[in-house]
Amino acid sequence: GALATSCAVSSDLVTWKSVEMPSVAQWNCLAVVNGIGVSIAMQSTKCAFIHYSSIVYGETTVSRIISEEVEKTGILTAADIDVSTLIDSVTGYKISAVSAIRSNLDPLQGAWPFDIVQSGYEIKFKRSGGSSIATILSDDLGAGAEGESSVARFTESRDMDTQLPARVSIRYMDVSREYDIGEQYAERLNTDAVNIQSIEMPLVLTANEAAQKAEILLYMYWLERYDVSFKLPPTYAYLEPADVVTVNADSGTYQLRLTSVNYLSNGIIECTAKFNNAAAYSSTATSDTGSLPDGTISLPVPSLYGLLDIPLILDS
């Protein structure tokens, strides 16, 4: 294409307006006219353009996605939820079908683990892996009403190895491969487990991000294999689900994430919890990205007019 300093633009090829072109702009290519991205195409002594100003690339956050989804219920507003801890950046997120809003939040909860709890008149979305907010003394465990027979102070159970995944595989949209489907995995080798957990994430990620999320989920499955339960006196009534506490039990000191908090009629607080480790929610895993597509799109060329020596084709 020849260099041009001015041209005419039209949205309908009927009405034309003179526009000064940048000195480096070429016809038949992408250019910027008055700060607006346009595609210039020659037509005799005039040219036409396509407006691209509505296409803007940028990342968003987990909190913004959740806020927009929740507000679509028509019941809740931004004042009814607390998403202040979900500050992770999201490159892309796809909703491909009409479904319940709760199901649309599941992929986000898997990629950036968080708990959803009712706190007063708010719904809190609390990022997992926080620090301990309270220390529970051994003497406070196994609380019960006066005269009640003794109860277990601290009970702990766990799933068998064979019920847990030895490998977690994530399928995602790879931002470096023109949104083609990629797959990354993390596996545990020193176990008798043979299960494979395959997860479809409608998220745009890099290969490294996907590898890190697979490793985090694998660690979580094994860390949260333990179920813990205990009862507390009313002095711990301020505790809520998703809070992280430090428990000084007879068998040792544990850091736990509360999964449920039930307030019994006699004032006793019945708690269930999972083991918590802040380090399990971060990863530095890397992945070999392999060969990446070039992504180069050549400039358009003039069309060639050619008659085909074939049977007649009807307009329909």
pLDDT one-digit tens code per residue, 95-125? 877 888 888 888 899 899 999 998 888 999 9
* Residue 168 Cα distances to 60, 146, 202, angstroms: 26, 48, 16
CA 284 to chain centre: 17
pTM of structure:
0.70
Q: What are the DSSP calls for 8-28, one per residue?
A: EE-SSSSS-EEEEPPTT-BTT
For residue 302, with 0-12 CB atoms within 10 Å meaning exposed, 13-18 middle and 19 or more buried, which class applies?
Answer: exposed
The one-digit pLDDT tens for each residue of the chain (316 residues) are 344 455 666 665 567 777 665 554 444 445 555 545 555 555 445 555 544 444 455 688 999 999 988 888 888 888 899 999 999 999 999 887 788 888 888 889 989 999 999 888 899 999 998 889 999 998 888 776 555 555 568 888 888 888 899 999 999 999 888 888 999 999 998 888 889 999 999 999 999 999 999 999 999 999 999 999 999 999 999 999 999 999 998 888 999 999 999 998 888 999 999 999 988 888 999 987 666 667 677 777 777 888 888 888 887 7
**Cα three-residue angle 266-268-272, rounded to 5 degrees:** 140
- SS3 call for 217: helix
Strand ranges in the chain using DSSP code E only, listed in sequence order: 6-9, 17-20, 30-33, 36-43, 46-51, 60-61, 81-82, 89-90, 92-93, 114-119, 122-127, 134-136, 155-158, 165-174, 180-187, 195-205, 226-232, 244-249, 252-263, 269-275
**How is residue 237 written in tokens?**
């009534």
Handedness of CA 222, 223, 224, 230 (dihedral sign): positive
For the chain, the first-to-last Cα distance in angstroms comes to 36
d(CA 181, CA 175): 9
pLDDT digit string (tens) for 286-306? 987 666 667 677 777 777 888
CA gap 59, 70 in Å, rounded: 20
Look-up: residue for tokens 């491969």? 177
**Cβ-based neighbours of 50, under 8 Å, separated by 6 or more:** 38, 39
